């Protein structure tokens, strides 16, 4: 049991945030040397404006969209809120279609619209493999397409890594002329994304998942889309997102996006091998363990386990004490782990959902990280199982 400082940490929680990429760091520090509001007309402003526009090109290239479709935001949550509320308000319609597997940054704005703005929500059926039932989508659109304000479905699930077939979603939705928003925060940097060919109307991405600092992201808004604005002011960003542009953060985001896009194929090959090795080794060492969604199409960066009989919080505690940062469900405000709404929606029994661990790999992950995890979980699992049994016995 070590103290916070001075520990060599093994960081296997890249889905929560990933280390700053060197390119992003130098873009940030270089930009910090400059002075100028990117919206000013003078040369100082033009200088920082150039950084913003360079970054816009980099992001546009990384996600395959037109540069004017990139709306910089403070991050993924803001981008999701802007898309969902903005499309809803602009549509004049009431029905929102989404899935219970979404991140809270999507579920909560939708529920807010339901509770405060008269929205009606249709939550699509999902299966135990963490996949959305597209037949259900087809059925509800056949019946009620004219009432639908938007469809919101994530590209990659942040907990399980399961990939949604977005082109299949949009090919159904576009026939009915219904806009589709996708939370691509967990997808960006991990799967090939091409906004132009995706059929999406809007798409949310976040900087810190690809190696930029926390606090910057973007909403990609198709040229033909006119969502209502969430933040009014100086009319920056197509008048959708007012507020002085944070050119250092945006420049850093641009650099990280370019780097994540450039090394995607190589990283995918390398990390897929490590992820498969990790899963195989864990299953050999701990035959009780389960890979939660072994048979679904999922991203290479995510290994999601269930360790029956061992509660997540105990496992995370023991792993943390061995110097390993991993994750379970989303932590709530007070730091208490609640069973994952994603796993519960998939139909996984609460007792098992309570025993899940997400290991997520990223650009800095090495084989020794994987080995460290395997030996730490091997030691932690029996302790956590014993602890759970003890608590039941008291």
Q: Which residues bind other proteins (CB under 8 A)?
A: 1-5, 107-108, 313-314, 317-318, 320-321, 329-330, 332-341, 383, 386-387, 390-391, 394
How many of the other CB atoms lie within 10 Å of CB of 195?
25
Cβ(158)–Cβ(191) under 8 Å?
Answer: no
Catalytic residue (choose from 332, 338, 386, 389): 332
For other proteins, the closer of residues 57 and 313 by Cβ is 313
Min CB(324)–other proteins separation in Å: 13
Whether the CB-CB separation of 188 and 205 falls below 8 Å is answered with: yes
Q: Which CB atom, from 41 or from 336, has the smaller least distance to other proteins?
A: 336
Burial (CB count <10 Å: 0-12, 13-18, 19+), residue 186: buried
CB of residue 118 vs other proteins: minimum separation in angstroms? 21
Nearest to 283 by CA among 131, 225, 21, 275: 275
Q: Where are the alpha helices (DSSP H) in the chain?
A: 22-32, 43-63, 76-91, 104-116, 134-144, 166-175, 195-198, 247-262, 264-285, 312-321, 341-345, 350-353, 367-393
In a 3-state reduction of DSSP, which class is residue 237?
A: coil
- The CA–CA distances, whole Å, from 333 to 18, 43, 83, 336, 337 equal 21, 44, 25, 7, 9
- Gyration radius (Cα) of the chain, Å: 22
Active site residue 332: yes
Query: Which are the catalytic amino acids?
Result: 332
């Amino acid at each position: 049991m070590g103290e916070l400082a001075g520990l060599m940490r093994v960081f296997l929680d890249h889905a929560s945030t990933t280390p700053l990429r060197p390119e992003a760091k130098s873009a940030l520090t270089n930009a910090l040397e400059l002075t100028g509001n990117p919206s000013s007309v003078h040369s100082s402003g033009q200088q920082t404006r150039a950084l913003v526009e360079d970054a816009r090109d980099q992001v546009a290239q990384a996600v395959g969209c037109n540069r004017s479709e990139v709306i910089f935001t403070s991050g993924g949550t803001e981008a999701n809120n802007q898309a969902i509320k903005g499309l809803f308000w602009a549509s004049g319609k009431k029905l929102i279609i989404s899935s219970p597997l979404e991140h809270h940054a999507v579920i909560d704005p939708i529920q807010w619209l339901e509770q405060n703005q008269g929205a009606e929500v249709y939550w699509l059926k999902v299966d135990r493999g963490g996949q959305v039932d597209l037949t259900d989508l087809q059925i509800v659109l056949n019946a009620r397409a004219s009432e639908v304000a938007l469809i919101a479905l994530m590209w990659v699930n942040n907990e399980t890594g399961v990939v949604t077939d977005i082109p299949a979603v949009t090919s159904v939705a576009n026939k009915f002329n219904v806009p589709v928003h996708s939370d691509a925060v967990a997808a960006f940097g991990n799967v090939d994304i091409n906004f132009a060919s995706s059929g999406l109307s809007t798409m949310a991405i976040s900087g810190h998942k690809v190696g930029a600092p926390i606090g910057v992201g973007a909403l990609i808004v198709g040229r033909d889309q006119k969502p209502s604005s969430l933040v009014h002011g100086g009319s920056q960003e197509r008048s959708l997102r007012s507020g002085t542009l944070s050119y250092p953060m945006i420049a850093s985001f641009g650099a990280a996006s370019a780097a994540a896009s450039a090394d995607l194929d190589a990283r995918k090959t390398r990390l897929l091998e490590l992820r498969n090795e990790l899963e195989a080794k864990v299953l050999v060492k701990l035959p009780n363990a389960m890979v939660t969604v072994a048979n679904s199409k999922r991203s290479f960066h995510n290994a999601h386990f269930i360790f029956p009989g061992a509660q997540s919080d105990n496992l995370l505690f023991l792993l943390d004490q061995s110097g390993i940062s991993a994750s379970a469900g989303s932590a709530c405000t007070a730091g208490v782990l609640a069973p994952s709404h994603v796993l519960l929606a998939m139909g996984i029994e609460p007792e098992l959902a309570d025993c899940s661990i997400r290991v997520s790999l990223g650009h800095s992950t090495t084989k020794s990280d994987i080995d460290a995890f395997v030996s730490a979980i091997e030691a932690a699992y029996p302790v956590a199982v014993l602890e759970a049994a003890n608590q039941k016995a008291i």
